[in-house]
Structure 1
Amino acid sequence: MKFGAVGALSLPRSSFPINPRHRYSLSNGGASLHFPNFISSRRFSCHCTSSRAPSLELPLLPFVLDEVLVPSEAKTLHLYEARFLALLEEAVSQRNKTFVHFVLDPVSNSRSSYASYCSLIHIENIEKLPIGALVSIRGISRVNVVELVQMEPYLRGVVVPVLDNVPSEATLLNSKILELKDSISSLQALQIKLKVPKRERLQTQTKNSLFWAENEVSDFLLQDFVPTQAERISFSAFQPVSGMSDTELLTVQREKLKAMELRESLERVERGIAFVQQCMKMVAARLAIQSL
């Protein structure tokens, strides 16, 4: 995903405030999405919370709604514009190499935009290129933007953690987590049998997310931002699998949005089980077609 051509909202350098009559293009898989919205310190809405909550001041990188990134999910970005490389430089200068990935959600019937579906991101790897860099990132947790403190050359804001409620039925939750992990393993076993392009990895994105979620997130600046293992695992199901159609990919996005909104790990795990089982049926059907 290229900044600012693929995967991120392209904001002009002199774009604060952005003229609402202009249309700023985002190319995504060959299709162009246009947002006649603007960002300014007066028109950029943020969630509010108690000032006593733990907070971090971090760079903010806006995406469109279909690019929401859930905790445990990994993706690779191509950064090449000077402002985004400056954002990257600030992020890697911190001990935890973090920034915030958020959806810039246009507010209906309003000349404003809303920061929603925000994820705290850890930079896992950087590969320098002749033009820019490839940056591998991982979602750590959900956050809320509570204050916008910088507009240029890139956004920076104060964020606080958003975590699930403490489960009241730990035994049932643990049982469902085991069921989810078994379902993901079954999906993995099916998917690696599919005939896919050589560039496809044998380890599915779902399995990769589960592997990360099962391990402890240690040496982090503020452990208050790190979800419990149960919460991390609950997000790992919501990943695309090889061979998905555009309609199926839209279903993944809807499930991601719902997962980000939930505050109960058990409900998210149950939705994850149903989603993975549906993916298994899809992959099984493709395997049956390949065997003909």
Structure 2
Amino acid sequence: MSLSVSCPLYVFLGSSRKVHIRNQRKLSTSKRRRFSPKASSLVLPLLPFNVNEVLVPCESKILHLYEARYLALLEESLIRKNLFVHFVLDPIAISDSAAEVSFAARFGCLVLIENVERLDVGALITIRGIGRVKIIKFFQAEPYLKGEVIPMQDTAPDCSSDVISSELSAVKDAVYSLNILEIKLKAPKEALLQTQIVNSLLWADKEPSLDCDDAFIPSLPERISFAAFQPVTGSSQSEVVKLQQKKLTVMDLKDTEQRLYDSLELLKENISMVVAKLAIQSIEIQ
């Protein structure tokens, strides 16, 4: 799926349009990871998207960059170890009575550029979500956004826990079961690859090799907990919208075990959906 990137940056300019960073939903102190002043940070280009295009860790997608400012962002990202930050600009009301709307910078995801294809107009780049980040400071708005980010991870899960191990195995088994069914579906040429979820799982199952602080790389259980939150071949528009809402929820979540549970429930729903579509497909063939 190719995406053309075009997002207004004027919201970051001028004293009357300050960026409002929305606080994440409140979590108990035991579930929240606090950042110390000495937390690792990176200064990177920032690429904004609307709330319907949140990117989760492990997810891969293709972007078509063609505006001069975004091509400049690409060149700097390549210099900065193929890294930049994909984040969502979420519209929020300044006050209940005001018609004016500001934006919150939310759902940041550190991404790795996996491939660049130069075109006559712009470039196609394949990116992979690595882990969640929080934008703590903006340095520039022109020609593209740049800011300082710190890592955001779940409260460290006990990887040796029987519950975590069991849920990891269940999620992996469900992903492979879904993939076996999914590749049987007839899909139009423009449809997403039918191996998208399993490819994300395979990527998550390995330790990423990145030239950055390890604090930006989520744990194995956390990586795998995100792998299932991607579109399934043949998804309807309403199913895609439902998935977007789930992605927003799990990006806020700080509990790996809960996300693994949510991931497994989504996989079960998708398996049932694909089984139904295969049944309809078999009737149409007869």
TM-score higher than 0.5 here? yes
Aligned to 1:275: 266
- Counterpart AA for 1:40: L
Output the CA distance in 1 between the equivalents of 2:120 and 2:73.
Answer: 18
Q: Which residue of 2 aligns with 1:98?
A: 83
Aligned position for 1:195: 186
List aligned pairs for 1:175-214, cutoff 5 A: 175-198=166-189, 200=191, 203-214=194-205
**Who is 1:66 aligned against?**
52
Equivalent in the alignment of 1:123: 113
Report the alpha carbon displacement of residue 46 of structure 1 after superposing the two structures with TM.
3.8
Q: Which amino acid aligns with 1:79?
A: L
2:71 pairs with one of 49, 70, 85: 85
Q: 1:203 Cα deviation (Å)?
A: 4.3
Moved over 3 A (4+): 6-9, 46-50, 198-203
Which residue matches 2:144? 154
Q: How far apart are 1:52 and its partner, in Å?
A: 1.2
1:197 CA drift (Å)? 2.3
Match of residue 28 from structure 2: none
Going from structure 1 to structure 2, the CA distance change for 1:8 and 1:199 (only over 3 Å counts) comes to closer
Whether the 8 Å contact between 2:5 and 2:64 is mirrored in structure 1 is no
Deviation at 1:107, TM superposition (A): 1.4
Q: Tell me the TM-score normalized by structure 2.
A: 0.87
**Among candidates 37, 46, 54, match of residue 40 of structure 2:** 54
CA contact (8 A) 2:194 2:233 kept: no
Q: Which moved more, 1:66-75 or 1:42-51?
A: 42-51
Distance 1:248 1:206 in 2: 16
SS in 1 for 2:12: coil
> Alpha-carbon deviations, 1:150-172, whole Å to 9, x = none?
11100000000000102258220
| Aligned counterpart, 1:249 | 240
Q: Distance in 2 between matches of 1:112 and 1:50?
A: 29
Name 2:128's counterpart in structure 1.
138
Shift of 1:9: 4.1
Find the aligned partners of 1:56 and 1:65 in 2 and give their Cα distance: 24
Rate the CA distance shift 1:56–1:244 in 2: closer, same or farther, 3 A. same
Q: Is the 8 A contact 1:60 1:99 kept in 2?
A: yes
Higher relative contact order (CA 8 A, sep 6+): 2
Count, aligned residues? 264
- Matches of 2:103 and 2:189 in 1, distance apart? 41
- Tell me by how many angstroms 1:80 deviates: 0.7
Q: Note the aligned Cα RMSD (angstroms).
A: 1.9
**Structure 1: runs of 5+ lacking an equivalent:** 19-37
Alpha-carbon shift at residue 149 of structure 1 (Å) = 0.7
Could you tell me which amino acid in structure 2 is paired with residue 52 of structure 1?
K
Identity %: 45
2:62 aligns with 76
CA contact (8 A) 1:41 1:151 kept: no
CA contact (8 A) 1:57 1:158 kept: yes
Map 1:226-265; keep pairs closer than 5 Å.
226-265=217-256
SS for the counterpart of 1:291 is helix
Matched, 1:39 2:42: no
Deviation, 1:199, is 5.2
1 CA distance for matches of 2:22 and 2:133? 10
- How far apart are the structure 2 equivalents of 1:50 and 1:127? 40
Tell me the distance in 1 between the aligned counterparts of 2:68 and 2:273. 42
- 1:63-120 deviation per Cα after TM superposition (whole angstroms, max 9, x unaligned): 00010000000000001111000000000012x2100000001112454211101000
SS at match of 2:93: coil
